[in-house]
Structure 1
Amino acid sequence: MMSITGKFLLVGILLASVLGGLSTGLATIVTYAPYGVSKTERAEYEKKVSLIKREEALRKEAQSMGLPQAVLPSTRYDFGLVDPHTTASHAFEIWNHGAGPLTIDVAETTCKCTVGSAQKGTLAPGEKTSVTLTWNTGQKSEQYEQAARVITNDPTREVIDLTVSGVVRTELFVPAKGVFHSGDAGEVVESTLLIYSQQHDDIAVVGAESDLVGFDWESNVVPSDSQPSLSEQQPTVINQVKLRCRAQKPGRFQGEVKLHLLVNGESDVIEKSVELTGRVHAPISFHSPMLHSRDGLDLGTLGNDQEHEFHLIVRKHFDEERALSVLDVSPKSLDVSIEPTSRFGDYRLTIRIPKGIPSTIFNLDQKRGYVQIGDPENEDFSNWFPLIGAVVANDE
């Protein structure tokens, strides 16, 4: 007969066996997602990991076969802001971490202004050299990026692209375009331009001219750190120019402004043109939950066995004392009326579809179905909206 101690020992062994089997099974089925990688990025992450592992395997194989191995601390360099007509250079280090001689040849560059040269064409194992890229910025103010291609006999890295980039400081930046804020007809609208330099300390606007109605302007120098939108440009001086004109007819408008500027007090006036656009609100607007901004008032499908009535708010956007009335209606069988409300500038518009009218389809393409409201003395102060839907006889 087995002793009590033996029985407990047997149970312990069985438990350990079962738990061990469970842990082995769990180890084979439980996988962990990489920390910080979302499900949508998982495939791309695993692809990059696979490429890294493959490159590492190739390097180890090359090492074992006595082949060269090209290693670079970096292949890109950003010069940041540089002055015009400046020659900038950067040397990229190349090491041979392999077991065989490494040959290096600068094959081509993206621009004749970029000169790529290697100190040494062949590297013994453990040696290093550098490839220098030299770039002349010229005068044009812009962001640039240039590259040189290096050819090696490393079978895992036969082609290496070296890249330099930066931004040439601008002497004078004037935006080519500007936008007036939207306004009502007759209202003064304004546009603000930021003119700056990354080289000089003084920009003066000495004149501005335009054919825009009621054109006016003013300018003043503001602190170079007062405009967050220009923080990356690191301006040395900013001149804020405010342009004004009087909004005319509803819709979009455009015009040109010619600015006359002096930089650092020099006598030569620089002329720059800025194209300006803006939008004038319609003098009258319509408001209803049933009104779509593009399609108009959706009446749905109505039976002609009863009268139907719809209401909208009409709002005028001007202060002049102008009497609003119904200028036109289609189809003529509709009964449309307008009357002022207790709120200044607001009117109540009522559309009645009489009982028994013939079957009618409101179709904007055929210009059948719309209401026009405005000043009968001046149609520039008017607006309209389409009607969509249909009235049908119940016996159809």
Structure 2
Amino acid sequence: MTNLKKNKLTLLALIVGLLASAPAFAQDSSMNPLIPGGNSAPPGHAPKAVVSDPLYDFGSALEGTMVTHTFTIKNNGQGYLDISGVKTSCGCTTGQPSKMHVAPGDTSDIAVSFDTHFQKGHQVRTITAFTNDPDNPQVAMTMQGIVKKQVEAVPGEVSFGTVKRGTEDTKELLVNDLNPGRGAFSVGPVSNSNSAIKVVQEKRPDGKPGALLKVSLLKTMPVGPFDDTIKITTNRVPLQVDVFGTVTGDLNIDPAQVSFGIVPRGQDIVRIFKLSNQGSHPVKVLDVASSSPAVGAVAEPVTPGKEYKVTVTLRHGTPDGQLRGNLTIKTDDPDQATLNVPFYAIVGQYKT
């Protein structure tokens, strides 16, 4: 065979080999710019999300009204803009895009509604649209303004503080109309859920529109912290007033919680608290239990029926870290059959 024929055969084999490998090359999107998703897409073909006016100041609005606004996102890029979702900074604000897939030069409207019920003062809400714009994946928009109250309760909350078991006490509050120019003002039904809190509605002693509410703590309130919510109906907007306090019994614990602080591992740590009975009848401690095996407690009578010393031990070998739990003290007092004492420790070289 001549050298010319050999060269022709070699060239032919090379061409056949290239043709055989061409389909595999064409199917690799990372090497072929004509296939969607390829990494070698021509520059400048990305979407670009632009909000012409990202801040909307609604000035002022009355509490209980709905504030609405529409933000517009324009695609100033050369590729399709995808809006995958919209997130708002609180549950009282909602937003929904009119288009999720926006062509170059086209726009999508984000209609936003802000519910001002139970809001007051200067309010700021942030709306975030998530997009495929590589330079602006989170498009931020802001709605702000001042929410003016239509009605108010004075005081704004009712605190009975700390009272002895069996105490009865009454607090008063006034319901005021803050927009007298909007016509007659009336206070409708008033309700609450705690049976040991009684609410009575009366006319205001000054004769002004609104109501006087007398909030009474009844002697049936059990020992411990309590809370309630008074729901007030008006012809403007509804109103809520929180009621709270603490009822103490004959049995008192001092201190009210056990703190071991930061302690080294490998040794027992002891703390002591006192349980005293200020009632006329003697009380017996039946049991002291711990929520953690690392902490034990023993009650010893100092004056039987009147005072106990409770020794609390954090046992050696407790693993490093934060330790939280409760001691449960059982007594034969029918009103305070169970007392809870929280404990806390940081053991060893624990780091937050």
TM above 0.5, one fold? no
Larger Rg: 1
TM-score by length of structure 2 reads 0.37
Specify which structure has the higher proportion of helix.
1
More strand by share: 2
